[in-house]
Amino acid sequence: MTLPMVVRDPGLPARVRIHEVGARDGLQNEKGTVPTEVKAEFIHRLAAAGLATIEATSFVHPKWVPQLADAEALFPQLQDLAGTVDLPVLVPNEKGLDRALALGARQVAVFASVTESFAKANLNRTVDEALAMFEPVVARAKAAGAQVRGYLSMCFGDPWEGAVPEAQVVRVCRALLDMGCDELSLGDTIGVATPGQVTALLTALNTAAVPTGTLGVHFHDTYGQALSNTLAALRHGVTTVDASAGGLGGCPFAKSAIGNLATEDLVWMLDGLGIETGVDLGRLTATSMWMAGRLGRPSPSRTVRALTHED
């Protein structure tokens, strides 16, 4: 298998934690429903490829996201991984948290929007109503000893509202941190960001006393900018990057969203920069090829395609 030549860049971190979202962000957007056993095997294969944080599913309303309605059946099938792999799950409200805690989830994520339009479309709430909904979720999750991630969607642009003022992102970041979230993930839900905007937003957040160490980045790749945006974030000191095996993904409530940054494209770049991730690129690529076979279409990842057309 071809590997990139390793040339380090002293301005970048030594290690990056990849937060793998293919099984959740990827599969929530499939037209058909993937069988529970296939999801379980996908997650086991991702773990065997060295991914240590694998977002497993969502405990949302099954009518809103029927593709993930099997969360209760799936999560117990992952129990052999608990202890070696973090398996965060999305919980929008206390009902979702109850369902997740009942199955022993140790990492949960609430998901806010920084725009009113997407808060309504995704959560049937205003931005502030959604934050009020999350408050007891975060408090109870922390009291139960779980780690809590707070997602923020539409940080760089919104399909209904256009440009998004930085102040809106700052406000929601502060609210989620004040609630007790351990980590935030800045979502470019529709993939419109460019690198200068990433640096500007991270700088504005630092100015507002949001430390870089609490921030992860979550780029969708609609305009092919996800990897460039990630590099800008790494240069700013971010060390948590969300990505989706094979580039699966999108959001059913934002039609212009397509797949996340492909984990293989990310790992190719990080391997080339000598940045540790713990991920075996060959095993990961084989997993995405296997999943592409289950879904009946090729992976959009350039790295997956390049590595599988070598011979």
CA–CA separation, 62 and 23 (whole Å): 16
Number of H helices, E strands in the chain: 11, 9
3-state secondary structure at position 187: strand
Residue 64 or 290 with smaller CB distance to ligand HMG? 64
- With CB under 6 A as the contact rule, the residue among 26, 92, 150, 300 that binds ligand HMG is 92
Give strand ranges (E) for 107-226.
Answer: 107-113, 147-153, 183-188, 215-219
Residue 58 or 263 with smaller CB distance to ligand HMG? 58
173 as an active site residue: the answer is no
CA–CA separation, 169 and 158 (whole Å): 12
Beta bridge partners of 158: 162
- With CB under 6 A as the contact rule, the residue among 75, 86, 89, 111 that binds ligand HMG is 111
Residue 122 or 285 with smaller CB distance to ligand HMG? 122
Binding mask 13-42 for Mg ion (x = CB under 5 A): ------------x-----------------
Q: Minimal distance in Å, beta carbon 185 to Mg ion?
A: 9
Q: Minimal distance in Å, beta carbon 208 to ligand HMG?
A: 20
Binding mask 25-44 for ligand HMG (x = CB under 6 A): x--x----------------
Residue 43 or 250 with smaller CB distance to ligand HMG? 250
Residue 51 or 154 with smaller CB distance to ligand HMG? 154
Determine the residue type at 182. Answer: D
Size of the site for ligand HMG (CB under 6 A): 25
Q: How would you class 180 by CB atoms within 10 Å of its CB: exposed for 0-12, middle for 13-18, buried for 19 or more?
A: middle
Closest CA to 181 of 233, 108, 114: 108
| Residue 93 within binding range of ligand HMG, rule CB under 6 A | yes
3-state secondary structure at position 13: coil
DSSP 259: P
Which among 155, 173, 181, 251 is annotated as catalytic? 251
Q: Which does 299 bind (CB under 5 to 8 A by kind): Mg ion, ligand HMG, none?
A: none
Determine the residue type at 136. Answer: P
| Residue 123 within binding range of ligand HMG, rule CB under 6 A | yes
| Residue 151 within binding range of ligand HMG, rule CB under 6 A | yes
Residue 60 or 307 with smaller CB distance to Mg ion? 60
3-state secondary structure at position 183: strand
Binding region for ligand HMG (CB under 6 A) out of 78-86, 120-128, 134-142, 295-303: 120-128
| Enzyme catalytic residues | 251
Q: In the complex, which residues of this chain contact ligand HMG (CB under 6 A)? A: 25, 28, 58-61, 64-65, 90, 92-93, 95-96, 111, 122-124, 151, 153, 187, 189, 218, 220, 251, 253
